[in-house]
Structure 1
Amino acid sequence: MNTRIKSTFALLLLVCATVLNTFAAPKPFTLNGEIKGLPEGTKLKLVPGATHASEDPIAEATVKAGKFVLTGQLDGPRLFYVTIADAFGGYTLMLEPGKITLKGEASAVERGDSKGYEFKNMEVKGSKLQALYLQKKAPRAMLDSLHNANNIKHKEVSIRRGEAMQKKDTAAVAAITKSAEWQLLEADSKAFFAKVDTVFNKMIGDNKDTFWGPLIMLDLYSYFTDQQKPQYAQFTKAAKESHYGKILNEVLNPEGFKGKAAPLFDMKANNNAAADVASLVKGHKYVLVDFWASWCVPCRKSIPGLKTAYEELKDKGLQIVSISIDKKEADWQKAETEENLPWPSFLDNGKTSNAWKIRAIPAMFLLNDKGVVVGENMTLAQVKELMK
């Protein structure tokens, strides 16, 4: 074999090795769990975390004799939530291929009408990345402690002001707001949020060279605005091209829908009404799609304005469609009854909000009679202007 042929052959081997590495087969993992306090038959789910989307579990298990086993495949280190079916609470876990054990305790707790579990004394073996994850998230725990301390410190004045607001006692609210106690609360709050910015920026900046940076950023923030884009810009190419780097880029810079056909509608209605695009737009000039939830205060506050706009514009061809992202059907039905919505109302199963890339609510989109998106993140004023 001459030198040229040898060189060509070596190059082909290198290319093949690179391709095989790029498309490396996922590797198996086994998570053996033993959490005291979970009733026999409790169903557990392993759900991908830090994606800012509604995710289906990749594995499920049932507690038997106090133990459970979750198995699956991973193509790299991933963050997961071990959750309990039909209950709140769970544990955040950094998984990697191999055998991992999870031990701890769970105590039953209640929040209003909801039941859940509080996990404590958790111990993980077999995942070096879990220890690293906890180390990198430690500053967040410090902030949580400071926040709790501030809440305890200012609990009394907060309760007094809240009670005055409920009674609509404007004089009492004004007096409390001017008091030294309330001024101290506001000063502490301002200092706390300034500290949050400093700590978050350091946590993210210290990990700008690897997947940890984007992962931590996704894990820290509940939603994103343009203010977070400079934090993303500091990441290296490797960090941006990582699994979590790509997710973060999509969250920060989502591709818009304007001018495109409306994405998927896969929802449930109380009256079994059709949820496909054609049925929703039929007979209407425009359809305003409003994503909301029973727990979303701004969403609930916007409903009177939506009702007014609906009465003004329905004869001009406007239809409104409300889509709740509530996790529990009962919560949606209760809120729907309380609000007495005069237009079609649906409960999302997670697929619709994912397809529409919903990261925060309320979120409104306007469709024309062809089912094409003609407006994103619209205000009622913009809708009224368009329909003049």
Structure 2
Amino acid sequence: MKLIKQLSIVGMLLLLTCIAQAQNFTIQGTIEHPQPTKAVLLKVFDAQTMQYKWQQNIDVAKNGSFQVTLPFTEMNLYQLNVYGKKGRIAVEQPEKIQVAVKGKEKLQMKITGSTGNQNMRAFHKYLNQLQGKHFGGLKERAMKAVKENNTKEMAALEVIKNEKMKGFEADLKQFIEGLGVSAAAYYAIGFMDLNIHLDFFKKVGERFKQKYPKHNLTRALWKDIKGAERTAIGAVAPNFTLIDVNGQKQSLTAYRGKYVVVEFWASWCLGCRIEYPKLKKIYATYKSQGLEILGVSDDRQTKQWKAAVTRDQLPWPNLWIGQNKVRKDYNISNLPFNLLLDKQGRIIAKKLTPEQLEVKLKELMKNGR
């Protein structure tokens, strides 16, 4: 009887140990060329700031090994910083994650043992396959057309791109749905344009909310969704005041009383440049009827922005985002991106191709709105 009690106690202890271990996750790493005086930095994604915030420093042993064990409370994204080399880790369950850092001047980081990272790698592989399947060869043709200023070819490529985009996005949505409610799914959906696919984001967001209503990634996803609703159809476009090419400040509200196309672009955006020939024709036709186009450049430097305005001979007012909060207010993630505003500044359409814009303008002018 005494032996049975002892065995029972041992069994309980083993069970408790297993339970305790099951609630932790461990990150173990090796660095080929360690710098023992420098710690490895671990950050965790925070829904409040939508950024990675510092969690702790991890000491590195002389042989280059390091390890940290943390409580697993919910799935989340972490960032590991090894001497400036950053790696994202998706923690979806209690598991042991291995990190190998090789190289001296140019570091390479390999992360294994994480189910989430495995799914993120699968996503990137599939994304590359999709790009080849739907857009293979188009980029080279577009670069050649822009270089030669072949407006006919640009117009043809714009039609092809818009048609192929439908299949690309449908395939991408299907893959993301297959990831279920996971850190990898949250990561993957970030590659889609929230402004265009708000309904899909809400669909995924509802699944997150049902399964993990209070989790960090659920709150982050819905924070993005609520932000996108500020620029939904029918909403008044957030005002902004930016500088033009002459250094003068211009505000969006100053254009009330006109139909306004807010066209977000950048000097490096090939898709933007392909649209310019048709946009110029539309501008020439409808400017006298109350249309204005406001180009808003997302270039990081004014030099590239101003050079592009001159190079492409853009006839409409052009503004520069700079460090303004416009990116956040309008959820700018992909270029080109545009919004059509009515005379009161309300959003009546988004992400229009030049062909769609012309159809919409004809309708508006015909109805005298």
- TM-score, with length taken from structure 1: 0.51
> Which residue identity does 2:328 align to in structure 1?
N
What is the CA distance between 1:149 and its match in structure 2? 9.7
Alignment of 1:91 onto 2:87: yes
Aligned equivalent of 1:22: none
- Equivalence map 1:151-162=2 (5 Å): none
Q: Indicate conservation of the 8 Å contact 2:261/2:294, yes or no.
A: yes
Select which of 262, 270, 273 maps to 1:289: 262
Q: Per-residue displacement from partner, 1:275-325 (whole Å, max 9, x unpaired)? A: 3234x416x522221112334333222222211111111112221101122
Q: Indicate conservation of the 8 Å contact 2:90/2:117, yes or no.
A: no
Distance (Å, rounded) in 2 between the aligned partners of 1:58 and 1:196: 30
Distance (Å, rounded) in 1 between the aligned partners of 2:34 and 2:123: 29
Aligned CA distance change for structure 1 residues 81 and 352 (closer, same or farther; 3 Å)? farther
Aligned equivalent of 1:136: 116
Distance (Å, rounded) in 2 between the aligned partners of 1:346 and 1:338: 16
> Which residue identity does 1:203 align to in structure 2?
L
Alignment of 1:223 onto 2:192: yes
Secondary structure at 2:250 match in 1: coil
Select which of 258, 271, 276 maps to 1:303: 276
Aligned CA distance change for structure 1 residues 198 and 163 (closer, same or farther; 3 Å)? closer
Q: Per-residue displacement from partner, 1:319-370 (whole Å, max 9, x unpaired)? A: 1101122344444334333222111212223510211233433332233455
Select which of 353, 356, 364 maps to 1:386: 364
Select which of 316, 323, 335 maps to 1:343: 316
- Equivalence map 1:140-179=2 (5 Å): 140-142=120-122, 144=124, 166=144
Secondary structure at 2:246 match in 1: coil
Aligned equivalent of 1:276: 251
Aligned equivalent of 1:120: 108
Alignment of 1:316 onto 2:289: yes
Aligned CA distance change for structure 1 residues 164 and 261 (closer, same or farther; 3 Å)? closer
Select which of 334, 337, 341 maps to 1:360: 334
Distance (Å, rounded) in 2 between the aligned partners of 1:373 and 1:296: 27
Distance (Å, rounded) in 2 between the aligned partners of 1:288 and 1:150: 31
Secondary structure at 1:271 match in 2: coil
> Which residue identity does 2:88 align to in structure 1?
T
Secondary structure at 1:121 match in 2: strand
Report how many residues are paired. Answer: 269
Aligned CA distance change for structure 1 residues 368 and 199 (closer, same or farther; 3 Å)? closer
Structure 1 gaps of 5+ residues are 1-33, 39-43, 60-75, 96-101, 109-116, 124-130, 169-189
Q: Indicate conservation of the 8 Å contact 1:281/1:368, yes or no.
A: no
> Which residue identity does 2:244 align to in structure 1?
A
Aligned equivalent of 1:248: 221
- Equivalence map 1:19-34=2 (5 Å): none
Aligned CA distance change for structure 1 residues 81 and 329 (closer, same or farther; 3 Å)? farther
Aligned equivalent of 1:13: none
- Equivalence map 1:181-260=2 (5 Å): 200-204=176-180, 208=181, 213=182, 215-221=183-189, 222-224=191-193, 225=197, 226-227=199-200, 230-249=203-222, 251=224, 254-257=228-231, 258-260=233-235
What is the CA distance between 1:138 and its match in structure 2? 0.8
Q: Per-residue displacement from partner, 1:43-70 (whole Å, max 9, x unpaired)? A: x9x8968x8xx978868xxxxxxxxxxx
Q: Indicate conservation of the 8 Å contact 1:290/1:320, yes or no.
A: yes
Distance (Å, rounded) in 1 between the aligned partners of 2:252 and 2:171: 46
Aligned CA distance change for structure 1 residues 35 and 251 (closer, same or farther; 3 Å)? farther
Q: Indicate conservation of the 8 Å contact 2:209/2:218, yes or no.
A: no
Distance (Å, rounded) in 2 between the aligned partners of 1:368 and 1:193: 29
Distance (Å, rounded) in 2 between the aligned partners of 1:57 and 1:329: 29
Aligned CA distance change for structure 1 residues 296 and 37 (closer, same or farther; 3 Å)? farther
Aligned equivalent of 1:128: none
> Which residue identity does 1:352 align to in structure 2?
V
Q: Indicate conservation of the 8 Å contact 1:37/1:106, yes or no.
A: no
Aligned CA distance change for structure 1 residues 241 and 361 (closer, same or farther; 3 Å)? farther
> Which residue identity does 1:387 align to in structure 2?
M
Q: Indicate conservation of the 8 Å contact 1:139/1:199, yes or no.
A: no
Q: Indicate conservation of the 8 Å contact 2:142/2:270, yes or no.
A: no
Tell me how large the CA RMSD over aligned residues is: 5.1
